[in-house]
Amino acid sequence: MARDAGFRTTLPVSGRRVLVVGGGSTALGRIAALRDAGAEITVIAPEVVQSVQDLAERGLLRWDSRAYDTADVSDHDLVVPATGDPGLDARVAGDARAFGRWCTIPDAVPGPGSDTGSDTDAARPRAGGGSVTLVGGGPGDPGLITVAGLEAVRTADVVVTDRLAPLGVLHGLDVEVIDVGKIPRGRSTPQEAINRILVEHARAGRRVVRLKGGDSFVFGRGGEEMEACTAAGIPVVVVPGVTSAIAGPALAGIPVTHRGLTQGFTVVSGHVPPGDPRSTVDWGALARTGTDIVLLMAVATLPAITQTFVAEGLDPATPAVTIADAALPTQRVVRGDVATIASRVAEAGIGAPAVTIVGRVAGFAPSV
Give the residue numbers annotated as catalytic, written as ranges: 162, 182
d(CA 268, CA 18): 39
- Residue 6 to residue 106: CA distance in whole angstroms: 16
Query: Which one-letter amino acid corresponds to residue 63?
Result: W
Asked if residue 268 lies in contact with residue 243, where contact means CB atoms within 8 angstroms, the answer is no
DSSP 3-state of 224? helix
Residue 305 to residues 172, 308, 311, 317, 358: CA-CA distances in angstroms?
A: 43, 5, 10, 15, 11
Distance CA 87, CA 67 (A): 14
Distances in whole angstroms, Cα of residue 322 to Cα of each of 5, 78, 263, 280, 332 = 28, 35, 21, 23, 8
Residue 281 CB coordination number (10 Å): 17
* 3-state secondary structure at position 87: helix
Residue 102 three-state SS = strand
Alpha-carbon distance 83 to 65, whole Å? 14
3-state class percentages of the chain: helix first, strand second, coil last, to nearest 5: 30, 20, 50
CA 286 – CA 358 distance, rounded (Å):
11
Residue 54, SS3? helix
CA 155-53-168 angle, to 5 degrees, is 30
Distances in Å between the alpha carbon of 152 and those of 26, 114, 164?
Answer: 19, 21, 18
